[in-house]
Amino acid sequence: MQTELNNRVYTKVSSSDLTTDNEQLTTEMHETRYLHEPAELQRRMQNIKAVLFDWDGVFNDGWKDIDGGSPFSEVGSMGVNMLRFALWLKNGVNPPAAVITGQINPHAEKFVQREKFHAIYMGYINKPDAFEVFLRDNDLKPQEVAFFFDDAIDLALAKECGLRVMIGRKGGERFTNHVIARGETDIVTANSGGENGLREATEAVIELIGNFADVFEHRAAFTEPYQRYLQERNATEPRVEKGRR
């Protein structure tokens, strides 16, 4: 089933279309997949006040260096910043933003410090533990959080959030279909973390907010509203917490 939103055509995929039969698996994803009608996604988006990200497989392709670090792309970083600005324009406040990752990762910590996220929680193999802290510290409800994720360790957290955005990848189609069939994601990207899937994901969510053109025009012109947002964002002192694996 196809539906138009903001002059783009999106394909809705229902769990009844999915199967674990190898002969019928969807092996390629050529466009962003939306698992609900646009009106439902926009309704959920109205409640979103904060953004939360996994790291490995979301900001990158999941490969590690010898010290356990994995980098990020400036393309994805810009998308994340534009999403935060879009929420600032929508809600009038700097949206809480955090990374929750199962590993201790110096690249992730540096990114959070540079981009002035509210927090990073590293070494949490049970991510809902960190999520409870994030909600409490920012006076949030689970349905007010959009979560960007990619793998099994994220599912217990994803099912609690108001908007779930899964970064897809080739080689993981069976798992992606499993997650869709369980109703644990709302959007699935066509591109992987190493192929700028995070940029695809953030742009998709900005489009749902409904201020896509304004967001990028403000940034391109470095307008007074964007400068005010940046000043508020940069006043944030990130919380760095390391859990026990």
Measured in whole angstroms, how far is the alpha carbon of residue 19 from the centre of its chain?
A: 26
φ, ψ dihedrals at 52, nearest 5°? -135, 140
Pick 120 or 71 by higher pLDDT. 120
Pick 66 or 178 by higher pLDDT. 178
Task: Look at residue 141 and give its three-state secondary structure.
Answer: coil
Pick 129 or 11 by higher pLDDT. 129
- The whole-number pLDDT of residue 72 equals 82
Whole-structure pTM value: 0.87
Q: Percent of the chain beyond pLDDT 70?
A: 86
The sheet carrying 50-53 orders its strands as: 2-5, 8-12, 33-34, 187-188, 163-166, 145-149, 50-53, 97-101, 119-122, 239-242
Residue with tokens 């534009």: 82
Q: How confident is the model at residue 234 (pLDDT cuts 50, 70, 90)?
A: very high
Task: Look at residue 164 and give its three-state secondary structure.
Answer: strand
- The whole-number pLDDT of residue 10 equals 52
- The whole-number pLDDT of residue 243 equals 76
Query: Given a cut of 90, is residue 7 above it in pLDDT?
Result: no
Q: Which of 102-111, 134-143, 180-189 has the lowest mean pLDDT?
A: 102-111
φ, ψ dihedrals at 144, nearest 5°? -95, 10
Query: Given a cut of 90, is residue 37 above it in pLDDT?
Result: yes
Q: Which of 19-33, 159-173, 178-192 has the lowest mean pLDDT?
A: 19-33
- The whole-number pLDDT of residue 23 equals 37
Query: Given a cut of 80, is residue 6 above it in pLDDT?
Result: no
- The whole-number pLDDT of residue 171 equals 83
Q: Which of 65-74, 76-85, 136-145 has the lowest mean pLDDT?
A: 65-74
CATH number of 2-13+26-242: 3.40.50.1000
* CB-based contacts of 135, cutoff 8 Å, min separation 6: 141, 142, 145
Pick 128 or 171 by higher pLDDT. 128
CA gap 180, 185 in Å, rounded: 6
DSSP conformation letters of 202-225? HHHHHHHHT-HHHHHHHHHHT-HH
- The whole-number pLDDT of residue 11 equals 52
- The whole-number pLDDT of residue 18 equals 42
Mean pLDDT of 14-18: 45
* Cβ–Cβ under 8 Å, residues 165 and 57: no
